[in-house]
Structure 1
Amino acid sequence: MRISDFWRLMDDEFGAGYSRVLGGSLVLAGVGGRTANQALAAGVSPRDVWLAVCDVQDVPEERRLGRDITPRQGGPDLI
């Protein structure tokens, strides 16, 4: 997982504004008692940080992979 994927998941689950608040203030035991921002800056895997956020915030298992996005109709053919 890339850091951009981490932030997309955070935004989808918590909203764009609140996800940034959580990233900077929520202390996560699963990544050494750091915030998400601190853990990412320290080189912790974005996946591990995301799962730590999910654990603390009680994100259900079915939403931990992100929301399902329906492909647009009429887009370019992928051959």
Structure 2
Amino acid sequence: MRLTDFWGNMRETFGEAYASSVAEDQVLPQLGGRTVNQALRDTDTKHVWIAVCQAYGERVPARIRR
């Protein structure tokens, strides 16, 4: 997954302003207790997106959930 696609999915899921807040502030157990931004530094983007989908479940639109 390209980083631009990841951020497009984040904006579609959380909205333009809230997507960056989620990425910066929310610690996800699925990412080893790191934030999305921390995980993106050294983890495959697809893995990070899967973790977001697991953490936020039904909030993520079905057509972009993987």
CA RMSD of aligned residues (A): 1.7
State the partner residue of 2:49: 50
Larger radius of gyration, structure 1 or 2? 1
- TM (norm. structure 1) is 0.71
Partner residue, 1:22: 22
The runs of at least 4 aligned residues of structure 1 exceeding 4 Å deviation read: none
- Structure 1: stretches of 5+ with no match in the other structure: 66-79
Q: Distance in 2 between matches of 1:17 and 1:30?
A: 23
Between the two proteins, the alignment pairs up a number of residues equal to: 64
**What is the TM-score when the length of structure 2 is the normalising length?**
0.83
User: Any stretches of 5+ residues in structure 2 without a counterpart?
Assistant: none
Q: Percent identity?
A: 41
Q: Compare the two structures and name the one with the higher helix fraction.
A: 2
